[in-house]
Structure 1
Amino acid sequence: MTSYSLQQFINETKQDDKKADYFQLETERVLEVNLDGTVWAKMGAMISYKGDIKFERERMAEHGLGKMFKKAFTGEGTSLMKAIGKGELYLADQGKKVTIFDLQGDTLTVNGNDLLAFEPSVEWDIRFMRKMAGMMAGGLFNVHLQGPGKVAITTHFEPLTLIVKPGEPVMTDPNATVAWSGHLEPEFVMDVSMRTFIGRGSGESVQMKFEGEGFVIIQPFEETYATQDS
């Protein structure tokens, strides 16, 4: 007989008190940060915390004038907050699935909207995709990350990783593209035949082209971004 008791629900959904790592998945959609120091996270991602933790909004020149000017130019909302202290911090972003990477000298480029949190040891920079300007604002900038340190990203539903091989370019929809090997430099291309067939306003006519050797992470969901003003 199936039980629907409140105690059973609590037992099945309560937090895991075993502290395994600095970043750990509390559920597949909630990141737990066992904080003892500092962590950078997406503004607004905090859903709960325990302990002595304070939050600071990213200051304009916190990461240097170069990044400040880039963010001012893009007008994008990937603002960061800094959590400082000791305790358990829970982060989430609109119910999206959370994936953790431990970058040990690796590099990763992430769509700015899909970056959830990273350790302060991770070096980062904003990368422009100038060819995308005027097509769609959401693909204009991404965040380039280099370890060592842990990074947490989010995806709508289960991510799929596509392997890029020399001579075998991979084409993706920009709205479904989450992250890729840090050394890859995608190009934006226009599929004229598809644009003619589907219609001038279709996003599918704009594609990202990855060439070389590496990987691309996509999600089975197309995020909608505002159109860049002309």
Structure 2
Amino acid sequence: MQSPLFTYTEQQTQDRYTVQNPQLLRVALTGHDDVLARKGAMVAYQGLIEFDGEYQSDQQRRARAHTGEGLDLMRCHGQGTVYFANLAQHVHLVDVDQDGLTVDSAYVLAMDSTLNHTVVAVDSQYGISGSGKYQLHITGRGKVALMTSGQPLMMQVTPDRYINADADAVVAWSSGLRVQMQAQTHSSGVRRRRGSTGEGWELSFLGQGFALVQPSEVMPPQHANIGDGVLAQFGMGQQGAHGQNQGNVWN
């Protein structure tokens, strides 16, 4: 049998993490260091690999119940090769250092088991639930595989060059940055999108570091039915809120 499909073969590398192609992550396990991955993200594996649900502490369960932010993880261990993907999103590897990484849990595909993650709050001028109000703070040293809808934009933040980004498009940022969530509108109209522009909540970043933005604002697929209507656009709906629609499932 012949086909151009046979050009899509495995990457031959000794690296633990490899981006097999833009939408597929390859992780090599040697039996010593486990990897934590998004539940259900495994698409294929070779070797003697076991998958177990990852334990959540009482603090993590309470934070998840209170904020809607958290990670549903599985622990992968053994010897072999595992491939992970999620909705054909683009995969990117990030080395976490002592500064830490703040990320929306919806965009985490996999990470080293040596890393720690806790829920943190992002300041909101009006205290209204929105896409960026709660995020994950990942600390330690290791790698994280992030996902984006399309090729992202990495924006550098310096003391003399701060940036603003749509809260629904922000994926991650350096934990050392100062961040504020705000709406460019009068308080009397805070529940409306900015005038007739369709723009809403923003995250403002100040300090020294980076912010990762994707070319998507967490909109549902074409012709999808959003059960909560207009509320979904302001982080208050069951399916429309950025952190409420776990697993990116639309009805």
Matched, 1:102 2:130: no
2:69 touches 2:119 (CA, 8 Å); kept in 1?
A: no
Q: What residue is the counterpart of 1:112 in the other structure?
A: 105
Q: What residue is the counterpart of 2:25 in the other structure?
A: 31
2:89 touches 2:149 (CA, 8 Å); kept in 1?
A: yes
Question: SS of the residue aligned with 1:153?
Answer: strand
Shift of 1:174: 0.8
Q: What residue is the counterpart of 1:154 in the other structure?
A: 147
Shift of 1:124: 2.1
1:200-211, aligned counterparts within 5 Å? Answer: 202=198, 204-211=199-206
Q: What residue is the counterpart of 2:60 in the other structure?
A: 67
2:167 to 174, 191, 194: 174
1:88 to 74, 81, 84: 81
**2:15 partner amino acid:** D
CA distance in 1, matches of 2:196, 2:21: 39
The answer for unaligned runs of 5 or more in structure 1 is: 1-5
Relative to the length of structure 1, the TM-score reads 0.84
1:121 touches 1:149 (CA, 8 Å); kept in 2?
A: yes
RMSD across aligned positions (CA): 2.4
1:143 to 132, 136, 139: 136
Q: Give aligned pairs, total.
A: 217
Relative to the length of structure 2, the TM-score reads 0.78
Q: What residue is the counterpart of 1:228 in the other structure?
A: 236
Change (3 A) 1:66 1:165: same
Matched, 1:49 2:45: yes
CA distance in 1, matches of 2:79, 2:123: 41
Q: What residue is the counterpart of 1:11 in the other structure?
A: 6
Shift of 1:72: 2.0
CA distance in 1, matches of 2:160, 2:62: 37
Answer with 159-168 or 209-218: which moved more. Answer: 159-168
Answer with 141-150 or 33-42: which moved more. Answer: 141-150
CA distance in 2, matches of 1:28, 1:196: 35
Question: SS of the residue aligned with 1:70?
Answer: helix
CA distance in 2, matches of 1:111, 1:151: 12
CA distance in 2, matches of 1:185, 1:223: 24
1:97 touches 1:156 (CA, 8 Å); kept in 2?
A: yes
Shift of 1:196: 4.9
Which structure shows the higher helix fraction? 1
